[in-house]
Amino acid sequence: MRLHTLHITAFGPFGDSQEVDFDALSAAGLFLLHGPTGAGKTSVLDAVCFALYGSVPGARQSSGGQGQNLRSDHAEPGVRTEVRLDLTVAGRRLELTRQPPYPRPKKRGTGFTTEKAQSWLREYDAVAGEWKDLSRSHQEIGEEITQLLGMSKDQFCQVVLLPQGDFARFLRADAEARGKLLGRLFDTRRFAAVEQRLAEDRRAAEKQVTAGDAELLADAHRMQQAAGDVVETPPVDAAPGDPGVAEAVLGWAAVARSTAREHYTHAHLALGAAESASSAARRDLSGAQETERLQRRFAQAESRAAALAAQETELRAVRERMERGRKAAAVAPALDLREAADAEHRAALHEETRARAVLRAETGTVSDAPEALKDAADAGPGALAEATRRVAQELGGLDAARRAERRLAAVGRERADLDREERADTELLDEAEQWLARWDTRRTELQDAVDRAQEATTRAEHLAGQLEPALRQARAARERDRLAGQADTARADALRAREEAAGAHEHWLRLKEQRLLGIAAELADELKDGTPCAVCGATEHPAPQRKSAGHVDRAAEEAALAAHRAAEDRYTEAERRSGVVREELAAAKAAAGDAPAGELADAARALQDRHAEARAAASALHAAREALAHAQSEHERRRTTRQDAATRSAGRASTRDALEREQATLEGELAQARGTAVSVEARAAQLERLVDVLGAAADAARAVEDTAQRLKDADARLADAAFKAGFDTPEAAAAAQLDDARHRELQHRLDAWQSEDAAVRAVLAEEDTAAAAHRPAADVAAAHSAAEAADARVRAAGSARDAAQRRCADLDRLSRRAATEARRLGPLRTTYNRVARLAALAAGTAADNDRKMRLESYVLAARLEQVAAAATARLSRMSSGRYTLVHSDSLAGRGRSGLGLHVVDAWTGRERDTATLSGGETFFASLALALGLADVVTDEAGGVRLDTLFIDEGFGSLDDQTLDDVLDVLDSLRERDRSVGIVSHVGDLRRRVHAQLEIVKGRDGSEVRQRGTGVG
């Protein structure tokens, strides 16, 4: 990476635009960046870092890292803060532009608004000879730069900007502090993540194993409950996670299962013996019950036989009655036929009488009855049929008259509809004429309302344009009055702070001069016999200078310097606040003018009232336009309605004339067709009723003749059947008949006696029953008691056997479950042992990790060895071959190996801690360490070439010879085509380094000057 040009505008202490030509500075290889305290030397480095990463390094990150406080207090309000860097990285010429957010004056009104941060990335196309835009996204630019450089911001600040003070602390730091810095530079978070992941895996595996052991112990407890008092041995006495839990649980389960099976065998044998005894008792009970039953059965049979003998006479009479009924059954069909014929004949006579009566009544109601109906009520069936035919013919001739009558009714309805339509159109015409007569007046009123609302709208818009400036001017006047007082206070604070800063500066210069006068005495206090003098190198000190009364030591000088700097900061802040207030006051005066705030507020309120009144009147514009449009639409509708009604009225006249002519014709035809009836339908209804009653009378007369003949034939057949069955008359045969219920009753009595007689004879003939009748009575109660006692013994034995069986089943099930859980836990326990060992090894707690070194510390130790080796190559030259840096992995705090760093002194041949180095030795040792670390981090980042480096303060602690050696080492970096910028206050460096970048500060901000480069 090589820097070419840096442009800075309104950034840090630089109020206007400044340009740094790094190409000119880098041509000399070594250049000096110097200037007074607070001028902005560090701000140049901040600008480089901000251009690359969008934030500044170190502690300044919290106060301005995102650009919020990077804006220069000396910048004009309208000047935008900007940093633009031209560089070459990875063979590509890029230009980075960063603009942090900053408050600018509002374009309208008073006050400030915040401009958002912006970024640009461009690349130079050598072929086309022009710059091409790549991105304007903060995130994309950050990712692109990080990928090209291969370093994060922290790595860049440690490798390119080389903060010497940090490495001096690094030399004296403990292992933990060194680990934090190295971890940040080499990004060893992945190794710490491995440690954490292994620890999490160990806890997860331990949790699974512990849960599995707890489940096994719970199964053991369940098995103990299932075994009850069968197994006397207690379950496993272990805790979850203890070794051998699974084996102990499975062993105890095997013993419990074996003992439970033995108990089940004994219970099964006892149940068999009880069941045999119960079967014998049940057989004895069955024998006693059977003997008792047979004896009772024989006694009942003898009693039933005596009862049957007493019913013999009654049964003979039943048989005789059933025989006479059987003979009468042969005459029954003839009797049924005669009864049916007689019933039909009586019904036909009744129906004939009713039909003729209806016919007489109907013919009496017809005034102009046909000739065929005369004496029809007393005629025979043939005459009635002929009369029916003639009346039906007359009825058929009325169909055309019916249609004419229906049409006449329709004509009447059509004439009524025409009358209703005529009345409705007349009302509609009247209403339309009245509305249209008022139209001109209504239209004028609505148009006037629209015009008034439109004028109010225009007036409201005009007042709105006047209102906002008036309100802004009133607000600006109030702000002007408020800022006037603040400006006086801020001016007084700035004057007081300037006087305090001047006094603090004079006090510091006075103390510094006093200390320089007594510096020899201060150096003499550090002399020890045998130790070389830091000034002359002598090991003997015969007459060291002594401190005089009132000597000013380094602490007092530094306290005065700190007080001076604090006073300068307070003065700068007071001046900044005063400037901000003055700018705001000027802006408020420009916006408000000289008018009093009260007068402007009253004018604004008056405008507000007039504007509100105009807006209220203008709000009716839409409603007025809607009302006018609705009225115009209604006007068109009314005109159309009037025209349509007139057209319909003209068409109705011709229709009415045609209907009147058709009505007269139909009425003449119907008068002839309906006769004396009120209508054709009434005449047709009379004839239809006559046809119906004539047909019914003819059918009834024919039915009487037919049923009389069938009754005569039935009497002859009945007399013949009674004689053949052996009865003297048909009446005797009818009296001997049995109905079904009576026949079933007699047959049932006969069948019951015969069945009972057969059953009794069968019982008395049974050998077992007869034999049992001669045996003694059985004792059933005693046999029943013995059988119940045997059953109780079987139930008790069965319960014991079932309990033993359940116990075995529960123990088998729980044992299988425990065995399954143990098999599942086997791989988990193996995994847990392996992961626990790896986690302990990575965390440095394993027994075979002799130095108790964590994985991340081990990686960082390897990196520190590389850094120490790279630093030694330069430290040896800087110290004239005296010092060498080495890494030490000796045990540190809490018994763990640390990231120790020692220096080997070639003069003594002994290794000692870096904290024993003097101030100058500490500087060049830390410088060598920083350069070595830059090489290692660069190699770690993928070999990115770093052509421009910056080294911060620390050269003032070196003597002339050591300074020459250090500069030779830095100058040798040019062999790798590098340019090195030294940031220092040391005046001697200005004589030794010709290419210089000077930062000059002033009241209006700092500016940049380049010397010895051909750039003014």
Residue 980 bridge partners (DSSP): 30, 949
pLDDT above 80: residue 71: yes
pLDDT of residue 73: 84
Q: What is the pLDDT of residue 978?
A: 66
Residue 8 has pLDDT above 90, yes or no: yes
Please report, as a single letter, which amino acid is at residue 1013.
T
Q: Long-range contacts of range 489-492, CB-CB < 8 Å, 24 or more positions apart?
A: 490/574, 490/577, 490/578, 490/581, 490/582, 491/578
Q: Count H helices, E strands: the chain?
A: 27, 16
How far apart, in whole angstroms, are the C-alpha atoms of residue 21 and residue 5?
Answer: 5
As a whole number of angstroms, the distance between CA 651 and CA 435 comes to 25
Is residue 65 over pLDDT 50? Answer: no
What is the distance between the alpha carbons of residues 909 and 31, in angstroms, rounded to a whole number? 37
- Give the contacts of 122 (CB within 8 A, at least 6 positions apart): 94, 95, 97, 131, 132, 133, 134
Higher pLDDT: 455 or 59? It is 455
Q: Which percentage of the chain shows pLDDT scores above 90? A: 3
Count the alpha carbons within 13 Å of 736 in the hemisphere toward its beta carbon. 23
Per-residue pLDDT, 83: 94
Q: Mention every residue, 6+ apart, whose C-beta is less than 8 A from residue 160.
A: 1, 934, 946, 948, 949, 950
Q: Who wins on pLDDT, 592 or 370? A: 592
pTM: 0.39
**Contacts with 145 (C-beta within 8 Å, 6 or more apart), sequence order:** 52, 53, 89, 96
Highest mean pLDDT (candidates 127-141, 764-778, 843-857): 127-141
* Token couple for 184: 């940040």
Residue 243 has pLDDT above 80, yes or no: no
Q: What pLDDT digit, counting tens, does each position of 195-205 carry? A: 778 777 777 76
Q: Return the higher-pLDDT residue of 824 and 523.
A: 824
Q: Length of the chain, please?
A: 1016
- Per-residue pLDDT, averaged over 15-41, amounts to 84
pLDDT score recorded for residue 895: 39
Averaged over 489-511, what is the pLDDT?
Answer: 84
Q: At 901, is the secondary structure helix, strand, or coil? A: strand
Rounded CA separation 737/330 (Å)? 10
Bigger pLDDT: 947 or 73?
A: 73
Asked if residue 54 lies in contact with residue 111, where contact means CB atoms within 8 angstroms, the answer is no
Report the 3 state secondary structure along 418-481: HHHHHHHHHHHHHHHHHHHHCHHHHHHHHHHHHHHHHHHHHHHHHHHHHHHHHHHHHHHHHHHH
- Cβ atoms of 226 and 781 within 8 Å: the answer is no
What was the pLDDT predicted at 82?
A: 93
By three-state DSSP, how is residue 202 classified?
helix
Report the 10 Å Cβ neighbour count for 917.
21
User: If residue 911 lies in a helix (H) or strand (E), which one and from where to where?
Assistant: strand 910-913
Maximal C-alpha separation, the chain? 192
Mean pLDDT calculated for residue range 341-364 = 77
Nearest Cα to Cα of residue 363 among 350, 352, 374: 374
Q: What is the pLDDT of residues 846-870, one digit of tens each?
A: 556 556 667 666 777 777 777 778 7
Q: Give the span between the Cα atoms of 940 and 944, in whole angstroms.
A: 9
Task: Say if CB 889 and CB 898 are below 8 A apart.
Answer: yes
C-alpha closest to that of 729 among 744, 743, 719: 719
Eight-class DSSP state of 891: B
Percent of the chain past pLDDT 70, that is, above it, reads 78
Cα(198)–Cα(252) distance, integer angstroms: 36
Residue 66 pLDDT level (bands cut at 50, 70, 90): very low
